[in-house]
Amino acid sequence: MSTVETASVASPPRPTAPSVARRPTVPAGLGAAAPQRSGTGVLDGWTTGTTPGWYRVAAAVAVASILAFAAIATAVALGVRSASQAIERDIAPSLIEVQNLFASVAEANAAATAVFLSGTTGTEDRGLRNLYLDALHRSAAKTEQVATLIGDDEASHEALQDLSAALTDYSGQIEASRVASRLAQPDADAALRSALDQTRSGIAPSVVTVTERGQDQLDEKSSSGVLATVAVIAAGLVALGALGWLQVGTYRRSNRVLNIPLVIATLAVVASLVAVAWGSAVRSTAIDNARGGGFDSIVNTSRLQTSAFDLQSELSFRLLGSEDRDVTALATAIDAEVGALRAQADSRREDAAAAELEQRWVRYRSTMEEITALAGRDRATAIERFRGPGLSTFNGFNTSIESVLSDNRTQFLGGVEQAADATNLIPVATVLLPVAAMLAVVVGVQRRLGDYQ
């Protein structure tokens, strides 16, 4: 029996596998960071390459444009409202009160001259003296009142300071001339001439300066917001364009004609734009009416008061034996100004006031011409006429000027108030409506995004 040996065959060795480090185990509840996706979007989920991403980007653009529109519109609305309120609260009243101030100065000046001339006869007229003191007190009170209305305009404040100082100097010179007249001093006439010069060179120019500055401020505040309103409309159109783009894109992707929240957002922006445009239009029209119906008459009244003041001062100079200006030329200028006020009257009340002004002027002119004719040949009679009918007809004429001014004030302030009221609700419309529009955009887009969840 043969022995068979069984050979042992060894398998070739296996190659050693490379060692791989084990990745750490992420604890439950903590998510591993997702790898960054490659694509054209700026952030994951905010790419126009996918429909949900496009919705997010388009909604962000629409909301940003509405927010920019709201910010611009609100800033402009607040600025326009502030300008309108400044006209109503400060500028318009100051223009009126400075004319009343000048009327009081003119009345004081006429009464002071009459007091002085009554003293030359040996007996001072106490009634005229009280009339002068009352008018002087009203002039000082009006100066303080105007100072509170002109705001921070430096030129106006400087003019009022000059006016106040001139008024103080004037009253001192009047008192000096009064005492000199009662004591029959030879320089009494010179003291009164100095006081009259002070009103013409110190008080009247200051009144003109304050009036002109008020007119400049009125022009500035009236035109404020015109260009800014154009910017608001442009921003609103951009917002509407963004909403239109969102609407069209939504239709193409969802095949739905209307997205109700987006329609509401569009209507809210349109309503806000309409509110801004309507308020601006009403404000502009109201201010134009106030200027044409009241302010232009106030300007003419200011000129009339200046001419009347010059005429009365010249009459005083004539009675003191000196001549400075042409009385006929001054009277002709007043004729034209009274006629202009009569032509500008656009209501029964204003026409009646202008008609009375014209009648008062005819009486005063007739008396003034009589006194002027007497001054050269019968000074004593001229002084008596000046103290009596001369002062009476002048004060009546001066009062009728104030009456016309009051009627114009009513119309002017009424128009300005209407302009201010038209801007009161605009800031509300430029805040609440855009906020509603932005919320509607978010709701509308979120409804479409819900289709992909």
CB 108 within 8 A of CB 136: yes
Examine the pLDDT at 430 and tell me if it is beyond 80: yes
Which among 313, 308, 108 is positioned nearest to 193, based on CA atoms? Answer: 313
Structure tokens at 96: 């009126």
pLDDT for 34-80, tens place per residue?
344 444 444 456 666 688 888 889 899 999 999 999 999 888 888 88
Question: What radius of gyration do the chain's Cα atoms show?
Answer: 41
CB 110 within 8 A of CB 393: no
Q: Give the DSSP letter of residue 185.
A: -
Mean pLDDT of the chain: 80
Residue that is written with structure tokens 């005229």 in the block: 128
* Cα–Cα dist 396/385, whole Å: 15
Cβ(353)–Cβ(345) under 8 Å?
A: yes
Coil, helix or strand at residue 46: strand
Q: Is residue 20 predicted with pLDDT exceeding 60?
A: no
Is the pLDDT at 357 greater than 80, yes or no?
yes
How is 357-387 classified by DSSP, letter by letter?
HHHHHHHHHHHHHHHHHHHTT-HHHHHHHII
Distance spanning both ends of the chain, measured CA to CA: 85
Closest to 37 (Cα-Cα) out of 29, 51, 49: 49
Residue 121: pLDDT band (50, 70, 90) is: low
Structure-block tokens of residue 398: 């001066």
What is the identity of the amino acid at 295? F
pLDDT mean over 234-258: 87
pTM: 0.66
Instruction: List C-alpha distances in Å: 415 to 104, 295, 297, 409.
Output: 27, 10, 14, 10
Q: pLDDT class for 223, splitting at 50, 70, 90?
A: confident
Please state the rounded mean pLDDT for residues 90-107.
82
Distance CA 229, CA 223 (A): 11
State mean pLDDT over 398-423.
80
Region 214-239: mean pLDDT is 83
Among candidate residues 127, 111, 123, 109, the one with its CA nearest the CA of residue 182: 123
Tell me whether residue 18 is exposed, middle or buried, using C-beta atoms within 10 angstroms of its C-beta: 0 to 12, 13 to 18, 19 or more.
Answer: exposed
Distances in Å between the Cα of 266 and the Cα atoms of 236, 238, 447 are 10, 12, 17
What is the tens place of the pLDDT at every residue in 305-339?
Answer: 888 888 888 888 888 877 767 888 888 889 988 88
| 211 has pLDDT over 70 | yes
* pLDDT class of 145 with cuts at 50, 70, 90: confident
| Residue 442 in tokens | 């978010």
Length in residues, the chain: 453
SS3 229: helix
Residue 43 phi, psi (nearest 5)? -125, 155
Strand partners, 43: 46
Give buried/exposed letters for 401-430 (b at 16+ CB in 10 A, else e). bbbbbebbbebbbebbbbbbbbbeebbebb
Q: CA-to-CA distance for 88 and 151, rounded, in angstroms?
A: 13
Q: Tell whether the model's pLDDT for residue 24 goes beyond 60.
A: no
Q: CB-based contacts of 353: which residues, under 8 Å, 6+ apart?
A: 345, 400, 403, 404, 407
Report pLDDT for 361: 93
State the pLDDT at residue 360: 92
- What's the average model confidence in pLDDT over 218-223? 80
Residue 264 — very low, low, confident or very high, per pLDDT cuts 50/70/90?
A: very high
